[in-house]
Structure 1
């Protein structure tokens, strides 16, 4: 079988869909039966929050790629600025916090340049 043109991308899309679709449907079916105040769901939320925090910390303290060219103080400043915008953002707090942190980082790189 030859993998020329778009066939590798189609193969990856189908294989990715098959590998994850079962778990999505299982989550939908199981989610309808789980009490939102259960200890199991509290544990799942805690693990998910810890994983997100770990990824963010890794991106701040051990960045790779383009983010690696920015100084640590700029990355920390972007996180603090984004958090402040999130907490005072009102209705659109999530998107505002993310956009503010990205804008802060981009402006800092434009003004101060990469280290």
Structure 2
């Protein structure tokens, strides 16, 4: 493995900053012309919700790793508790996630 000197490290950092700044500036320029209530934003919103729903479904129904050792009823029960807590707390995301996580940990710990 080759050791890099301080000049090389500084060049890498400056290059990363320049590349990031370019895309951020382009985003600011293009965002001025987009309508937040328009079709493009709605499409991205729907697409991101669909991806999130797919990932959550995959985690709940077909998990991998250590999560697969916990029964489906525990996973679904914790998810339902989290959703119920979310709506009962007037759509507070922190309360929903914390409730689901705590109920999952307690149920998984109690069952094995």
> Does the pair score TM above 0.5?
yes
Give the Cα separation in 1 of the matches to 2:22 and 2:102: 36
Q: Number of residue pairs matched?
A: 100
Match of 1:106 in 2: 105
**Which protein has the larger Cα radius of gyration, Structure 1 or Structure 2?**
2
Superposition deviation, residue 29 in structure 1: 3.9
After superposing on structure 2, the runs of 4+ consecutive aligned residues of structure 1 that deviate more than 2 Å are 20-24, 26-33
Give the Cα separation in 1 of the matches to 2:42 and 2:82: 26
Match of 1:62 in 2: 62
Superposition deviation, residue 31 in structure 1: 3.0
Give the Cα separation in 2 of the matches to 1:52 and 1:28: 26
* Counterpart mapping for 1:1-20 below 5 A: 1-2=1-2
TM-score by length of 2: 0.75
Q: Does 2:79 match 1:79? A: yes
Which runs of no fewer than 5 residues in structure 2 stay unpaired? 4-8
Match of 2:37 in 1: 37
TM-score by length of 1: 0.73
- Alpha-carbon deviations, 1:12-31, whole Å to 9, x = none? xx7xx67x836861444433
Secondary structure in 2 aligned to 1:37?
A: coil
Give the Cα separation in 2 of the matches to 1:24 and 1:94: 31
Higher relative contact order (CA 8 A, sep 6+): 1
